[in-house]
């Protein structure tokens, strides 16, 4: 049997502890599959004495992850600290410079620094792998980078934030308001310390930007992801959507279009009978479409100790077996800078608005839409309440920029009682 | 850029032609992703002059695939001929002996000769890859072998024969009899030359046996797959199952149990609301359960030119990138001979029987079940027709061997008007 593959693990939260458990409890299985033992030499975390449910006494301890990254007795630096910059990035860079391979679960770090880190890894002849950064236990980075490498990828979609999906599912199934469902998720510990990372779509946007880089051979472009959170979704939207056969999901979509790279993470309507529409609770789903393979759907747990540790170990096992891949599936120098194409692809839209109680209000809205060339598929006006009339419009397929012009013009009509809610209907 | 990776392709049916098209039309993309050109040196098929929708004039021609396999100007032998033995196996062996890597879509060859071929590949220091042999375009071999390599796999399930799923779906959606749906599938060209390969579960059983070898580190044991075809399923079964909230699917299930390896490819009832239950038409789905990751579901096209060629190219791209893996994910010498455990795991069962029109007939059946310790969850007796009464029984979770004893005892009671239909209800 070959030399052991020696890990140094920085960050011993849920995922880090999960990785330690797998390495300890499955030593024989891992060695059988890779032909070499997988071992841990040293670990690092903020607090040495926390009870993590697993013994660390066999491993050297480093207070400083940068020191850990450079140790002579590790081959792979496993970065599970999180944070887009700061210690995670410093230690990752130190590890690559010291000739270590790196496995990370850190979507924020890669969304902000992916290109620079991929270039550094290649300069150093090391690999930087990140299966655990996207969609938890679902081996989607591997599927996209390797399994579907013979395809031109035409679209990548995903529900990749379990917390948002939990909130939206609870609003629908239990009739909770957004605030009630948010509070419930908070009570269950589902929210990040900064909840905006979840409900603002930022965390899921990070993940989408990493998938897009692989899919289209472009440099990670998180800054050009169009982000919309779920905070504007009301129980009314959930119910109206349901009446029309749709579910509302925080859906990421990326496409390479003639105008450039389209990346959007926003609440969308999807058919209730589609796999995405049927995805309830904290589960994740990624849909990849290729010109050869058609549509591939992958579903699984998007977070949690076991699933995320499983993804980390997938990368570790690859390295143990000698698999060497470019970070984003092709040399970093060959990744093109992407031109951002905002919402280039036309779609039907769902509009919910509240009109002032004046004669001709609805006519004014319909006229504005007609003037920008948007035709209406369905329109419903509900009974007045508190001096305003709820109106629901579903458009035929429309360009987003035309819709934006219409929304501006609507604001000038003086008939809107509040800002309209605009949701894209994604064909899946 | 490195030296080209040179392919020799044997078999130019739909899939072979699809692979040629990808290599020709996506040369730049493939080279960008792997860092080296992927080219075709030579091809072979039974008929040289067939129109395959793609030019072959750039490639050398071999009438004999064994000659092709040994050519000096190929690095990878791509076996797309099919057949468990004969030319496919001879050429695969010749290629490995000549120091070529092999990519194949041939589930029958590997189900019958997987262990010997994996051993030969390792003796020769070559890789033998087969993503396209299982579930078409779904990169499930890669997910199981690599992405989930940190898991102890607890169950693998799959709907992996699109033709059977098409027939069962049409019986349900259009109310066709089995014979009518079979004829329709035949007219659409969905059936193999020997239809029993499809409707007898053999083709899907081949695939299941390959997944089990990877999942449990065992030698391929197709001979111990419990096979049941879909020919016994009647429109009544489809309707009764539907009334109770189930769909009938030709479902493969494998588990490693305390008694040994359980592998079964048989029509089963699954909850109508589960991902497996919602799988309609020719689509495939594979469900992998691991002790860390929980449940991963993968769905996509199980056949066809593009999807299958996509899977072949996934393997080719791996080889071009220098990825070297054992055929079944660990050295062939370390794969254990599996002890077959027939239906070791208890399950609820669906029984449909036809009882003779005599007083006490139903009581005799209920008594027999009680005597072997099987308790009844639901029982329905329908109106007599033609002197027999249809009876439907759903049991609580029961051991299959107890059920088999009950079935034997029922036959002795003289109250059965025909052989009962017995279907397992799989928890998914």
C-alpha to C-alpha distances, A287 to A153, A248, B138, nearest whole angstrom = 11, 16, 12
Q: A83 touching B, CB under 8 A?
A: no
Catalytic residue among A89, A100, A142, A207: A207
Task: Evaluate if residue A1 carries a pLDDT over 70.
Answer: no
Nearest CB partner across the interface for A309, out of B143, B292, B323: B292
Determine contact, residues A79/A104, Cβ cutoff 8 Å: yes
Q: Which residue has the higher pLDDT, A282 or A106?
A: A106
Instruction: Kindly report the length of chain B.
Output: 428
pLDDT for res B376: 95
Helices (H) and strands (E) in chain B, counts: 14, 16
Q: A272 touching B, CB under 8 A?
A: no
> With contacts defined as CB-CB under 8 Å, which chain B residues touch A143?
139, 142-143, 147
Nearest CB partner across the interface for B147, out of A29, A142, A217: A142
* pLDDT bracket for residue A404 (50, 70, 90): very high
CA distance A395 to A70: 58
Nearest CB partner across the interface for A299, out of B33, B297, B329: B297
Q: Which of residues 109-138 of A touch B (CB under 8 A)?
A: 131, 137-138
CA distance A55 to B161: 47
Residue A365, C-beta contacts closer than 8 angstroms, at least 6 positions apart:
A353, A355, A391, A393, A410, A413, A415
> With contacts defined as CB-CB under 8 Å, which chain A residues touch B307?
292-294
Cβ contact B32–A316 (<8 Å): no
Q: Is B24 exposed, middle or buried (0-12, 13-18, 19+ CB in 10 A)?
A: middle
Determine contact, residues A224/A338, Cβ cutoff 8 Å: yes
Residues B73-101 have pLDDT tens digits of 999 999 999 999 999 999 999 999 999 99
Instruction: Kindly report the length of chain A.
Output: 428
pLDDT for res A386: 78
Sign of CA dihedral A21, A22, A23, A28: positive
User: Shortest Cα distance from B149 to chain A (angstroms)?
Assistant: 6
User: Shortest Cα distance from A61 to chain B (angstroms)?
Assistant: 24
* pLDDT bracket for residue A173 (50, 70, 90): very high
Q: What average pLDDT does range B97-120 have in this prediction?
A: 98
Determine contact, residues A53/A306, Cβ cutoff 8 Å: no
Place of tokens 């605030």: A179
Q: What average pLDDT does range A12-38 have in this prediction?
A: 97
Q: Which of residues 241-260 of B touch A (CB under 8 A)?
A: none
Q: Which two tokens stand for residue B75?
A: 């690095």
CA distance A53 to B281: 47
Cβ contact B294–A307 (<8 Å): yes
* pLDDT bracket for residue B8 (50, 70, 90): very high
pLDDT for res B384: 77
Residues B329-366 have pLDDT tens digits of 999 999 999 999 988 899 999 999 999 988 889 999 99
Task: Evaluate if residue A31 carries a pLDDT over 80.
Answer: yes
Sign of CA dihedral A245, A251, A255, A258: positive
Full strand arrangement of the beta sheet holding A76-79: A60-62, A38-44, A5-10, A76-79, A101-104, A128-129
Q: Give first-to-last CA distance, chain B, whole Å.
A: 48
Q: What share of chain B in percent tops pLDDT 90?
A: 91
User: Shortest Cα distance from A341 to chain B (angstroms)?
Assistant: 22
pLDDT for res B282: 86
pLDDT for res A410: 94
User: Shortest Cα distance from A388 to chain B (angstroms)?
Assistant: 40
Q: What average pLDDT does range B173-194 have in this prediction?
A: 93
Task: Evaluate if residue B141 carries a pLDDT over 90.
Answer: yes
pLDDT for res A207: 98
pLDDT for res A281: 87
Pairing relationship of beta strands B226-227 and B260-271 according to DSSP bridges: parallel
What are the respective helix, strand and coil percentages of chain B, to the nearest 5? 40, 25, 35
* pLDDT bracket for residue A36 (50, 70, 90): very high
Domains (range + CATH), chain B: 5-104 (3.40.50.720), 145-301 (3.30.360.10), 349-425 (3.30.70.260)
Q: A162 touching B, CB under 8 A?
A: no
Q: Which of residues 353-372 of A touch B (CB under 8 A)?
A: none
* pLDDT bracket for residue A344 (50, 70, 90): confident
Q: Is A319 exposed, middle or buried (0-12, 13-18, 19+ CB in 10 A)?
A: buried
Cβ contact A149–B334 (<8 Å): no
Residues A223-277 have pLDDT tens digits of 999 999 999 999 999 999 999 999 999 999 999 999 999 999 999 999 999 999 9
Cβ contact A322–B317 (<8 Å): no
User: Shortest Cα distance from A310 to chain B (angstroms)?
Assistant: 6
| Mutation target among B1, B28, B30, B33 for the A interface, most CBs of A within 10 A | B33
Q: A143 touching B, CB under 8 A?
A: yes
Beta-carbon pairs below 8 A across chains A and B: 190
User: Shortest Cα distance from B147 to chain A (angstroms)?
Assistant: 5
CA distance B31 to B43: 21
Task: Evaluate if residue A100 carries a pLDDT over 80.
Answer: yes
pLDDT for res A381: 85
Can you list the alpha helix ranges (DSSP code H) found in B155-229? 162-174, 178-187, 196-199, 202-216
Bridge partners (DSSP) listed for residue A101: A76
Residues B28-61 have pLDDT tens digits of 999 999 999 999 999 999 999 899 999 999 999 9
Determine contact, residues B147/B195, Cβ cutoff 8 Å: no
Nearest CB partner across the interface for B317, out of A32, A146, A304: A146
| Alpha carbon A94 to chain centroid, angstroms | 27
CA distance A230 to A71: 44
Cβ contact A26–B152 (<8 Å): yes
| Mutation target among A151, A292, A306, A314 for the B interface, most CBs of B within 10 A | A292
Q: Which two tokens stand for residue B123?
A: 């003796």
Global ipTM: 0.96
Residues B280-325 have pLDDT tens digits of 888 999 999 999 999 999 999 999 999 999 999 999 999 999 999 9
pLDDT for res B1: 61
CA distance A420 to B169: 42
Question: For the packed helices B235-243 and B162-174, what is the interaxial angle rounded to 10 degrees?
Answer: 70
Helices (H) and strands (E) in chain A, counts: 14, 16
Give the range among A134-138, A149-153, B186-190 with minimum mean pLDDT: B186-190
Task: Evaluate if residue B271 carries a pLDDT over 70.
Answer: yes
Residues of B forming the active site: 207
pLDDT for res A217: 98
Instruction: Kindly report the backbone phi and psi dihedral angles of residue B110, in degrees, each rounded to the nearest multiple of 5, phi listed first.
Output: -75, -35
> With contacts defined as CB-CB under 8 Å, which chain A residues touch B278?
275, 278
CA distance B174 to B179: 13
Residues that constitute the known binding site of B: 10-17, 107, 192
The DSSP line for A144-184 is: IIIITTTS-EEEEEEE--HHHHHHHHHHHHH---HHHHHHH
Determine contact, residues A156/A241, Cβ cutoff 8 Å: no
Determine contact, residues B356/B388, Cβ cutoff 8 Å: yes
Show the beta-strand stretches assigned E in B245-402: 246-257, 260-271, 283-290, 294-301, 349-356, 376-381, 388-395
Task: Specify whether A397 is catalytic.
Answer: no
Cβ contact A296–B137 (<8 Å): yes
pLDDT for res B139: 98
DSSP state at residue B131: G
Question: For the packed helices A107-123 and A86-97, what is the interaxial angle rounded to 10 degrees?
Answer: 20
Q: What average pLDDT does range A21-31 have in this prediction?
A: 98
The top-scoring range by mean pLDDT among A106-120, B42-56, B404-418 is A106-120
Q: What average pLDDT does range B161-170 have in this prediction?
A: 95
């Amino acid at each position: 049997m070959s030399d052991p593959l020696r890990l140094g693990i920085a960050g011993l939260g849920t995922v880090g502890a999960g990785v330690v458990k797998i390495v300890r409890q499955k030593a024989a299985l891992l060695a059988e599959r890779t032909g070499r033992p997988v071992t841990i030499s040293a670990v690092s975390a903020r607090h040495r004495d926390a009870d993590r449910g697993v013994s660390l006494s066999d491993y050297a301890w480093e207070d400083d992850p940068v020191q850990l990254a450079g140790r002579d007795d590790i081959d792979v630096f496993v970065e599970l600290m999180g944070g887009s910059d700061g210690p995670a990035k410093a230690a990752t860079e130190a590890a690559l410079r010291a000739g270590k391979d790196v496995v990370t679960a850190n979507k924020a770090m890669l969304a902000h620094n992916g290109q620079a880190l991929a270039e550094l890894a290649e300069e150093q002849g090391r690999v930087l792998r990140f299966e655990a950064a996207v969609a938890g236990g679902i081996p989607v980075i591997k599927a996209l980078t390797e399994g579907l490498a013979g395809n031109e990828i035409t679209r990548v979609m995903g529900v990749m934030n379990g917390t948002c999906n939990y909130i939206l599912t609870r609003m629908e199934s239990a009739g909770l308001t957004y605030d009630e469902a948010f509070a419930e998720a908070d009570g269950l510990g589902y929210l990040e310390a900064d909840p905006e990372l979840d409900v603002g779509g930022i965390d899921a946007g990070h993940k989408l930007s990493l998938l897009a880089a692989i899919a289209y051979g472009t440099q990670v472009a998180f800054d050009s992801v169009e982000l919309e959170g779920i905070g504007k979704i009301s129980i009314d939207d959930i119910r109206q959507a349901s009446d029309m056969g749709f579910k509302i999901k925080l859906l990421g979509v990326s496409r390479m279009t003639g105008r450039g790279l389209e990346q959007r993470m926003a609440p969308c309507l999807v058919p209730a009978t589609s796999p995405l529409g049927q995805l309830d609770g904290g589960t994740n789903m990624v849909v990849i479409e290729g010109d050869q393979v058609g549509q591939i759907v992958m579903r699984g747990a998007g977070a949690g100790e076991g699933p995320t540790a499983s993804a980390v170990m997938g990368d570790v096992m690859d390295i143990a077996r000698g698999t060497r891949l470019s970070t984003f599936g092709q040399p970093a120098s060959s990744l093109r800078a992407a031109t951002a194409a905002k919402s280039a692809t036309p779609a039907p839209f769902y509009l919910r608005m509240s009109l002032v109680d004046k004669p001709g209000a609805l006519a004014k809205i319909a006229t504005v839409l007609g003037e920008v060339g948007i035709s209406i598929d369905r329109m419903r006006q509900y009974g007045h309440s508190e001096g305003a009339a709820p109106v629901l419009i579903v458009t035929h397929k429309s360009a987003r920029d035309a819709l934006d012009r219409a929304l501006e013009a609507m604001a000038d009509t003086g008939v809107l009682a509040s800002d309209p809610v605009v949701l894209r209907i994604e064909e899946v």
